[in-house]
Amino acid sequence: MGETTPSNSVQVDIRDVHKIYERGSERIDVLQGIDVEIRDGEFVALMGPSGSGKSTLLNLIGGLDRPTRGTVRVAGEDLGSLSDGALTRWRAENIGFVFQLVNLLPVLTAERNIELPLLLTNLSKSERKKHVEAALKLVGLSHRAGHYPRQLSGGEEQRIGIARAIVTDPTLLLCDEPTGDLDRKAGDEILDLLHALNTEHGKTILMVTHDPRAAARAQRTVHLDKGVLSTEPAP
């Protein structure tokens, strides 16, 4: 998780992606022919009204769902070509998720919550400990390692959630309303942290947000409305 220099390679390549849900005789076209590229080291904000398909698109990029039609390629991998088992392994190695609801396990300390994704790897206990310590240091919460979620503020919980997301050194961070449950000060601190992960550590970030102030931290903004995408540069 050291400092890196972003390359110009395409990290996320979405081509003619459709997502259709059918409920009885009703057909819902959530995504309608989406095309988008995100380059290595970019910080992109994804905005749009509720029900526009933002979380659906995020789930497709993160390998949590599959498109009805089209190609989703991330970090050079065509996700549609992977079996369910291979997709699970790929996701664990390449994607870090940051959600609005952090969902830390209340019976585990901060450091044990952060360690959870590493249990899917072949790292030894001592190696896992080093990764957890590095992630805690990066989010500025080394002193809270032994605290339980109930002993943390909302902003600290989200920082631990980000540490959990980056502990495997993923290729891509997918953030779904990471400041949605936080007050302005705590939200700004989370945005500062994401900005640092992008600019100082070269992390590629796609962030879903309703907040124009949050979107302004990104390098560019992508708008999704009624399943159709448009792009504009961030101010």
- Contact in structure between 197 and 203 (CB atoms under 8 Å): yes
Considering the domain boundaries, does residue 132 fall inside one?
no
| Torsion sign across C-alpha atoms 232, 64, 189, 1 | negative
pLDDT in tens, 17-39: 999 988 888 888 899 999 999 99
Mean pLDDT of the chain: 90
- Give the pLDDT score at 232: 59
pLDDT in tens, 79-132: 999 999 999 889 988 999 998 888 899 999 999 999 999 998 888 999 999 999
Considering the domain boundaries, does residue 38 fall inside one?
yes
Total domains, the chain: 1
6: which 2 tokens?
């972003």
Considering the domain boundaries, does residue 125 fall inside one?
no
Considering the domain boundaries, does residue 160 fall inside one?
no
Considering the domain boundaries, does residue 154 fall inside one?
no
Q: What's the CA gap between 203 and 87, in Å, rounded?
A: 21
Is residue 1 scored above 70 in pLDDT? no
**Which of 177, 232, 208, 224 is closest to 30 using CA atoms?**
224
- Give the pLDDT score at 63: 93
C-alpha distances (whole Å) from 169 to each of 57, 197, 218, 232 are 22, 11, 21, 29
Considering the domain boundaries, does residue 140 fall inside one?
no
- Contact in structure between 139 and 163 (CB atoms under 8 Å): yes
Considering the domain boundaries, does residue 70 fall inside one?
yes
Q: What is the CATH number of the domain that holds 16?
A: 3.40.50.300
Considering the domain boundaries, does residue 224 fall inside one?
yes
The reported pTM is 0.88
**Which of 203, 208, 193, 218 is closest to 168 using CA atoms?**
203
pLDDT in tens, 122-177: 889 999 999 999 999 999 999 999 999 999 999 999 999 999 999 999 989 999 99
**pLDDT, mean of residues 39-44:** 95
Q: What's the CA gap between 57 and 155, in Å, rounded?
A: 26
What range defines the domain where residue 190 resides?
Answer: 10-101+171-233
- Give the pLDDT score at 6: 45
